[in-house]
Amino acid sequence: MNDLEACEAKFEHLTRVWRSEQRRGNMLSSRLSRMKDGPRELFQRYGKLLKGMRGVPQERSEDGKGLPHARWMCDESWGIDEASKLHRWLGYVQSILVSSGQFTLDEVREHSRGLDT
């Protein structure tokens, strides 16, 4: 099982637990809220970095690749309310930042530690 599959399995497990607890009246809303707040903080951080970079076009790239698209995703992330989608988007933005040499894989891994705890 790769990291993405493990993350998706963990999220699905938490979703099942949350639904079970909700039926009993004991919601896990604070934990699920933290699963959204962590990625949003990173989107904000990455968005500021990308907006401050010279030579990165302001408009979104149509091919869905590169730093302009990552900047657009950071801006658009605020409209997403589904935690699993936020985490997928965050992974994609981080992959763009790593492939463009802005961060190493170890650095973005460190950024993401503890997001859902």
pLDDT tens string 39-92: 888 898 899 888 888 776 666 667 777 888 999 999 999 888 888 898 899 999
* CA distance to 81, 94, 113, per residue, from 107 (Å): 26, 10, 10
- Give residue 81's Cα distance to chain centre: 12
Q: Kindly give the residue spans of alpha helices, DSSP state H, lying in 1-117.
A: 3-23, 29-51, 66-76, 83-99, 105-112
108 pLDDT higher than 70: yes
Domain boundaries, the chain: 33-112
CA distances from 67 to 6, 23, 42, 86, 105 (A): 27, 43, 15, 18, 16
**3-class secondary-structure state, position 57:** coil
> What pLDDT score does 28 carry?
45
40, 75 in Cβ contact below 8 A? no
With a cut of 50, say whether residue 27 has pLDDT above it.
no
